[in-house]
């Protein structure tokens, strides 16, 4: 078991050596000088060391400083006008808001949800380097495009919470990816009858890494009951953003966790069956933090704001606090490869013959599935990042199905990764959309049946 962990470390180091990529981080301090005119769209203007604007228009409040933007009021996120390779929305006559979104990725995910007529679907992609939101797509079969689905936190976190449990145990130094957990019964059973240790009956064995990949419920319940308490789970969750307000341009519901300090609550919460909710935006942020050596970069969706043609705001990266250590983040990334390569998402990322859909790109991820009631349905989650040797993109995909379903979240996640990596070097949006329309965003090693299905999008 230890050999697999060492082989993974060697594989990642080898990829880094082969690619010989140099990461250049530049920091810019942007000084903005704004000449006040008699524009009716400037509700209030404060000229001081820190510029502060509030713009009122049609029940909309657009507030921004040189550091941050907040959009509230009578508008939902709508992205439909593209100018110079970016989505742009207008506020009144004089204000333009330019978004960070990749139009191709955004449109492709909306088209995917529409094609398969999912009852509800949401997809969020974030640049792990900058925090720029590359896609924020929401869709329902009833109402069509609804980006607010990506910002709601009424959804059960399900087994995505196993990442939090593993982080808590790793941070305390109680486990390693190759720690073996003995158990009895099946992988997905969860009750006092199988989470209570019984050396005479616990004949099945699984490593923590494989338990992550296969989403083994009892293994995570046992880890929590043996080495953690309710406070440990709560602290680990809050360090990764639960019970905290997400600093974002549009209002985001807070992901919540409540865990009681008793055996049942600890076991069920640790395994993903607790009182825990999660928004798709927050799910992508958790994946991004793990990709970013434990540090959570604040998400940003507004790139620039122009007033009367003059630039008044320009995007700046906002580094958050470290939620977990770099060592824990690396171990979680390794454990997340098990989900994709051998576990619950394998069939979405590999053909029946074992050929990867994303050639030469190592993907890490975690799935989750659970019934929920707001909205009612069967919830399917996937959060992840790629490529693991130098992560560029972190994503969260959520599909809420009826009992009869067509696609689930790992499939959506794979198509998001494919769209991003096969088109990231195309700079012209019109050319990107032509490529997408032709279906050429797909690699040639897709099997023919899947090619036919997806190219009908």
Indicate whether 456 belongs to any domain.
no
**CATH number for the domain harbouring residue 113:** 3.40.710.10
32-52 tens-digit pLDDT: 223 223 232 233 333 334 567
Q: Please report which helix (H) or strand (E) contains residue 420, including its range.
A: helix 409-423
Q: Check whether 149 has a pLDDT greater than 70.
A: yes
Q: Check whether 348 has a pLDDT greater than 90.
A: yes
Contacting residues for 283 by C-beta, under 8 A, at least 6 apart: 124, 160, 381, 383, 396, 398
Indicate whether 457 belongs to any domain.
no
SS3 assignment, position 152: coil
Q: Check whether 76 has a pLDDT greater than 80.
A: no
Indicate whether 307 belongs to any domain.
no
- Per-residue pLDDT at 319: 73
Cα separation, 87 vs 80, in Å, equals: 7
Indicate whether 293 belongs to any domain.
yes
Q: Check whether 277 has a pLDDT greater than 70.
A: yes
Indicate whether 253 belongs to any domain.
yes
| Position with higher pLDDT, 41 vs 420 | 420
152-186 tens-digit pLDDT: 999 999 999 999 999 999 999 999 999 999 999 99
Q: Check whether 259 has a pLDDT greater than 80.
A: yes
Q: Are the beta carbons of 284 and 385 closer than 8 angstroms?
A: no
Cα separation, 305 vs 312, in Å, equals: 6
The domain tally of the chain equals 1
Indicate whether 235 belongs to any domain.
yes
Q: What are the tokens at 138? A: 């929401």
Cα separation, 172 vs 93, in Å, equals: 56
Indicate whether 272 belongs to any domain.
yes
- Per-residue pLDDT at 443: 29
pTM for the full model? Answer: 0.85
Q: Residue range 117-142: average pLDDT? A: 96
Look over the chain and give the mean of its residue pLDDT values, rounded to a whole number.
84
Contacting residues for 391 by C-beta, under 8 A, at least 6 apart: 128, 291, 292, 333, 385
Q: Check whether 452 has a pLDDT greater than 90.
A: no
Task: Identify the burial level of 261 via C-beta atoms within 10 angstroms of its C-beta, where 0-12 means exposed, 13-18 middle and 19 or more buried.
Answer: exposed
Indicate whether 44 belongs to any domain.
no
- Give me the domain span that covers residue 333: 102-301+317-427
Least confident of 280-284, 407-411, 419-423, 448-452: 448-452
| Position with higher pLDDT, 323 vs 264 | 264
5-37 tens-digit pLDDT: 767 776 666 665 554 443 322 222 222 223 223
């Amino acid at each position: 078991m230890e050999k697999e962990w060492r082989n993974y470390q060697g594989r990642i180091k080898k990829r880094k050596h082969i690619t010989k990529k140099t990461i250049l981080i530049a920091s810019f301090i942007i000084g903005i000088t704004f000449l006040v005119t008699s524009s009716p769209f400037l509700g209030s203007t404060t000229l001081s060391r820190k510029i502060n604007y509030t713009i009122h228009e049609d029940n909309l409040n657009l507030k921004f400083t040189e550091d941050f933007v907040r959009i509230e009021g009578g508008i939902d996120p709508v992205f439909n006008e593209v100018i110079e390779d970016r989505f742009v929305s207008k506020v009144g006559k004089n204000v333009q808001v330019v978004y960070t979104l990749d139009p191709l990725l955004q449109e492709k995910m909306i088209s995917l949800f529409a094609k398969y007529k999912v009852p509800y679907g949401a997809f969020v992609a974030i640049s792990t380097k900058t925090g720029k939101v590359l896609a924020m797509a929401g869709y329902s079969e009833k109402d069509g495009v609804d980006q607010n689905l990506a910002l709601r936190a009424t959804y059960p976190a399900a087994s995505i919470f196993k990442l939090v449990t593993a982080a808590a145990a790793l941070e305390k130094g109680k486990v390693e990816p190759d720690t073996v957990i003995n158990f009895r019964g099946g992988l997905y059973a969860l009750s006092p009858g199988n989470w209570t240790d019984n050396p005479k009956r616990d004949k099945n064995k699984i490593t923590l890494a494989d338990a992550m990949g296969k989403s083994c419920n009892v293994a995570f319940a046992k880890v929590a009951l043996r080495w953690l308490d309710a406070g440990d789970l709560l602290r680990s969750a809050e360090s990764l953003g639960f019970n905290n307000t997400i600093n974002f341009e549009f209002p985001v519901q807070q992901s919540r966790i409540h865990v009681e300090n008793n055996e049942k609550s600890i076991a069920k919460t640790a395994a993903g069956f607790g009182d825990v909710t999660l928004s798709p935006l927050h799910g992508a942020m958790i994946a991004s933090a793990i990709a970013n050596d434990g540090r959570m970069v604040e998400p940003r969706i507004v790139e620039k704001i122009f007033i009367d043609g003059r630039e008044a705001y320009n995007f700046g990266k906002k580094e958050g606090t470290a939620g977990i250590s770099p060592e824990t983040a690396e171990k979680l990334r390794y454990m997340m490869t098990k989900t994709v390569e051998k576990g619950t998402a394998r069939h979405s990322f590999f053909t029946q013959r074992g050929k990867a859909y994303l050639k030469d790109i190592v993907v890490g991820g975690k799935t989750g599935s659970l019934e929920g009631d707001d909205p009612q349905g069967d919830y399917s989650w996937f959060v992840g990042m790629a490529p693991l040797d130098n992560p560029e993109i972190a994503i969260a995909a959520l599909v809420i199905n009826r009992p009869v379903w067509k696609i689930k979240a790992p499939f959506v996640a794979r198509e998001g990764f494919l769209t991003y990596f096969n088109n990231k070097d195309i700079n012209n949006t019109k050319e990107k959309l032509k490529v997408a329309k032709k279906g050429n965003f797909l690699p040639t090693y897709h099997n023919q049946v899947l090619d036919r299905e997806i190219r009908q999008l």
